Amino acid sequence: MAVSDHVDLPTFLEGVKKRNPGQPEFVQAVQEVAEDIYDFIKDKEDYHSEQILRRIAEPDRVVSFRVCWEDDNGNVRVQRGYRVQNNNAIGPYKGGIRFHPSVNESVLKFLAFEQTFKNALTGLPMGGGKGGSNFNPKGKSVREIMRFCQSFMTELYRHIGADVDVPAGDIGVGGREIGFMFGQYKRITNQFTGVLTGKGLEYGGSLIRPEATGYGAVYFLANMLRTKGQDLVGKTAVISGSGNVATHAAEKIVQLGGKVLTFSDSGGFIHDPDGITQEKIDWVKEHKTKRRGRIQDYAEQFKGATFTEGKTPWGVPCDAALPCATQNELNGEDAKTLVANGCKAVSEGANMPTDLAGVHVFKDARILYAPGKAANAGGVAVSGLEMSQNSERRSWKEAELQQLLLDIMEGIHTSCLTYGQVDKDHVDYVKGANIAGFKKVADAMLAYGVV
């Protein structure tokens, strides 16, 4: 047996920190997973001796590249682009592209790591990857965004492919940006393949892909409530963010009889005690995505609503909370406030929105708490279905896709129960998701030997 076989958890985490200096988000994501995996593998020799966790926590590769583009005034601008290919043990790398000034290697490595487990949980054959750039789409013209996307793809195209790595959208990247990137890929390679997902319906996109992440997070919430004999009817929900995931989560909560009280963006949050109806959600979609407006304007548009500058919405009492904006937007104090105010369930639409202190608060309070890798997997799941449709050169019907999304979210919930049931009254969904996701990837890696 080699010396390094059975390093304990603190030693393992020390090593992760040392090998990834200045990458706190990546270290945090690995720690959250390792806490559960260490317990699971304690009596499983193969996983130790083959160093499986150590290998999953080392990306297959990180590609970093220069992206030059010209703004509307003729100035040359330089950004940094990335693609992190974390693990392709169970399928081609798959994961979104994020355009946001906060993007750096740590953020994308954490996202690619999380994606590896999430994609395994969907049951579809997809490995984990993530990409993006520190490009800030805010305040840019559509032509500037187009030129940036084209330049970004001019390097990215050589690293991706329908059977290699299939990017999609994430923060700052929606249908329009995917269109620009797909157009450039096709132009460079002269190939029409399913190399990106989240495409428009006219050129190989899938029905319900835009809705899938938010809807899926609410289906997961409903599945958790069902274990307690409850549903969403009459329940209040606090949602952060006001983009793709937040607005579609709100839409599904309203459809299932719940009342949505808040939205937020990087400027602050709005609270609408009368409830955010479908009509108001439609206004937010139009305002935030098409007009690139601020959520603050909601309080002027709709009577009775208030805007609180620079704050997150976690102080508003609710039955359920859905963080749907970004990483580490909900800390330990926020988690305590939510629990003290009677919040019974948390479903993460965003990736790693709760910091480690917050995760421990929710776990200790034994509330229904679904981590992003389980709750927000509906988006990438429908991306996987888009890949299948592209391979078949067909488009499936909406009813069929809706049912598949429901089934996949229920399957993930069941996997969490399998590995996360703590006692007859409590499920640790974080543990369940971590172990179920890990096991599938780990067993594939064992089959390959040391590669």
Query: Among all residues, which ones are annotated catalytic?
Result: 130
Per CB under 6 A, contacts with ligand NDP among 249-308 are 265-267
Number of neighbours of residue 49 by Cβ within 10 angstroms: 13
DSSP state at residue 273: T
For ligand NDP, the closer CB: 40 or 334: 334
Nearest distance from C-beta of residue 96 to ligand 2IT, angstroms: 3
Of 91, 131, 358, 379, the one binding ligand NDP (CB under 6 A) is 379
Q: Which two tokens stand for residue 376?
A: 């927000």
- Closest residue by Cα to residue 94 from 104, 106, 86, 102: 86
Cβ-based nearer residue to ligand 2IT, 118 or 413:
118
Can you tell me which of 169, 179, 313, 384 binds ligand NDP, judged by CB under 6 A? 169
Q: In the range 230-249, which residues lie near ligand NDP by CB under 6 A?
A: 241-246
**Taking CB within 5 to 8 Å according to partner kind, which of ligand NDP, ligand 2IT, none is near residue 95?**
ligand 2IT
The rounded distance, in Å, linking the Cα atoms of 79 and 73 is: 17
Q: Does 197 bind ligand 2IT (CB under 6 A)?
A: yes
Q: Could you tell me which residues are beta bridge partners of residue 270?
A: 263, 307
Side chain identity, residue 210: P
Q: Is residue 108 at the binding interface for ligand 2IT, with CB under 6 A as the rule?
A: no
Cα–Cα dist 308/316, whole Å:
11
Among 122, 150, 184, 351, binds ligand NDP (CB under 6 A): 351
**Location of structure tokens 């929710």:** 362
- Answer whether 121's CB lies under 8 Å from 433's CB: yes
CB of 376 to ligand NDP, least distance (A): 4
Query: Rounded to whole angstroms, what are the CA distances from 277 to 25, 199, 253?
Result: 35, 28, 10
Site string for ligand 2IT, 346-375 (x = CB under 6 A): -----x------------------------
The pair of three-digit structure tokens given for residue 392, joined into one six-digit string: 């078949």
Question: Under 8 Å CB-to-CB from 71, ≥6 apart: which residues?
Answer: 77, 140, 144
Minimum CB distance to ligand 2IT smaller for 99 or for 362: 99
Each as own residue / partner, the long-range contacts of residues 395-398 (CB below 8 Å, 24 or more positions apart, any chain) are 395/201, 395/206, 395/207, 396/206, 396/207, 397/207, 398/207, 398/208
Question: 390, 162 in Cβ contact below 8 A?
Answer: yes
Minimum CB distance to ligand 2IT, residue 346 (Å): 18
Residue 94 binding: pick among ligand 2IT, ligand NDP, none (C-beta 5-8 Å cut-off by kind)? ligand 2IT
Task: Give the binding-site size for ligand 2IT (rule: CB under 6 A).
Answer: 12
Which C-beta is closer to ligand NDP: that of 270 or that of 324? 324
Cβ at position 88, least distance to ligand NDP in Å = 19
Binding mask 311-350 for ligand NDP (x = CB under 6 A): -------------xxx----------------------xx
Q: Which is nearer to ligand 2IT, 199 or 235 (CB)?
A: 199
Using CB positions, name the residue nearest to ligand 2IT.
96
> By CB under 6 A, how many residues form the interface with ligand NDP?
24
x/- map, 129-168, ligand 2IT, by CB under 6 A: ---------------------------------------x
Angle, CA of 363, 90 and 22, to the nearest 5°: 55
Helix axes 377-392, 398-420, angle to 10 degrees: 130
Q: Hey, which bits of 281-354 come out as E strands?
A: 306-309, 320-322, 345-347
Rounded Cα distance, 308 and 293, in Å = 16
Type of residue found at 373: K
Q: Which residues bind ligand 2IT (CB under 6 A)?
A: 94-96, 115, 118, 168, 170, 197, 351, 379-380, 383
Site residues, ligand NDP (CB under 6 A): 100, 102, 169-172, 213, 241-246, 265-267, 324-326, 349-351, 376, 379
